[in-house]
A and B are shown apart, each in its own frame.
Chain A
């Protein structure tokens, strides 16, 4: 009955609240029980924002924030030094970081050793979003990457959730970005396996 618990960290305007909501909708479409909610601050651009998502095979009753995540998504690498983004991380756990740099370049060598190389991925989600959506909004990309990394939600349900949420043109562009991030993580995982 333990749910798979995901914590998303970002800054106001990056869409991490929407990301948690979309993730919960996709998990629901996959036939799971799901819950998403934000850690509510006074909403303003640039302020640290946290959101949560639980995915389970049984009804989710708790309404406490996720304090022991199975997966952490970090939409803004500048938060690494300001917010305890890895607090309470389970073992094993997945870590997904929006960055063009590697984990080692981000100073996360110890974390890589802790969670394992195959469990931590850096994805250039902002660049992918800029390229495919035309705006530096990494949230949907990160969901594609998370689906590839954890297998907790399907790519198709994520695409459906994106289409239900946004106008057609915006949705279509975001799904292209989602697929690009999904492929990026898959390629990285294959590389890690072959290495």
Chain B
């Protein structure tokens, strides 16, 4: 049933219907509404069998999630920004231990300077932590991806991170069909852990591995994570059969025969769809929902017919360039597709229709540099750069 709901509320209800058993969480803007709502539901009896654990930090949240998941419980948490960074040490342990935790990241910038607004610097900073990572463009897709994430994670014993734009989605009221409980039950069976910690039948997980086998362990983890692309595709088809809604790894839009294709993740892809409809000039869009594992072959197939690819990124690698662009370039290696990077929407800067038109106009006229920032106040940065150079001499 479609309802007009806040994104955070919709996610909390979806997670509840996934019959989560343990939710250790620590609040941080803009994730707070999600865990508050899950906590309230756990307390008022809406979620029988769910233990909500208030912890003292995000490090504790992930550590408790690891412990809970290791006992076989379906485990969920959510965080953002500095909270994700504070989790970092424990974060890498979850895939290493084969624990299918699902976590929402309500994407937010990282300080300093302190900034509570949206960009993708947080989840991108943990790019190599070994989790499955998906990005949602709307609250509907975010809700659907949470259900899929539990099944995907538990099928492979790999944790999954569902990224959704902080504020832009988490605080937005939109129409949404929260997957109903019977549908979720049909799609998502009870977790059957491969192994579990049990005081009556003790085992050790995560024991030390020396140089003789560490590379092999890592190789196996990489292979298992790579499998997520295929399993995601199977599950996404099943979800579409059940709901009629698309949650595929890639969502192409007006891409057939497109000379220029924009690649982007998250809520900006909705704004881009409007822009492309207005232009109707043979520009296409590739919305990348599955970011890790990176769907190399599928991205290559989708983009290799284009002349130019513009990757619009809400994060970047300081001192290097684009983050997603590097993946796209790897996928397109050996083709003569030109890949440019446009960093947009850092720290909550609105990504507007007008600015995106300007970007595409510049690309069409051949003025778009290989690495650019959307809507940058050039006068200000040039003045400051001159000042810095002056100060250094």
Contacts and interface: CB of A to CB of B under 8 A. Distances in A.
Interface residues of B, number: 29
Given A25-B4, A40-B348, A42-B116, A63 B268 contact: yes
A21 interface: yes
B171 A38 contact: yes
Given A35-B172, A36-B173, A38-B167, A64 B4 contact: no
A21 B348 contact: no
A35 B174 contact: yes
B352 A67 contact: yes
A33 B6 contact: no
Given A25-B4, A40-B348, A35 B117 contact: no
Contact of B273 (A21, A61, A64, A65): A61
Contact of A37 (B116, B167, B268, B348): B167
A64 B173 contact: no
29 contacts: A20-B173, A21-B173, A24-B4, A24-B173, A25-B173, A28-B3, A29-B4, A34-B4, A34-B173, A34-B174, A36-B173, A37-B172, A37-B173, A40-B30, A40-B348, A42-B116, A60-B270, A61-B270, A62-B274, A63-B168, A63-B267, A64-B271, A64-B350, A64-B352, A64-B353, A65-B350, A67-B350, A67-B352, A67-B354
A97 to B, nearest CB: 24
Contact of B171 (A1, A25, A37): A37
Given A24-B4, A63-B267, A35 B274 contact: no
B229 interface: no
Contacts, number: 65
B168 A37 contact: yes
Interface of A: 1, 20-21, 24-25, 28-29, 33-38, 40, 42, 60-65, 67
Contacts of A38: 167, 171
Contacts of B353: 62, 64
Interface string B267-283: 11011011001000000
B369 to A, nearest CB: 24
A33 B352 contact: no
A40 B351 contact: no
A67 B354 CA distance: 10
Nearest to A59: B175
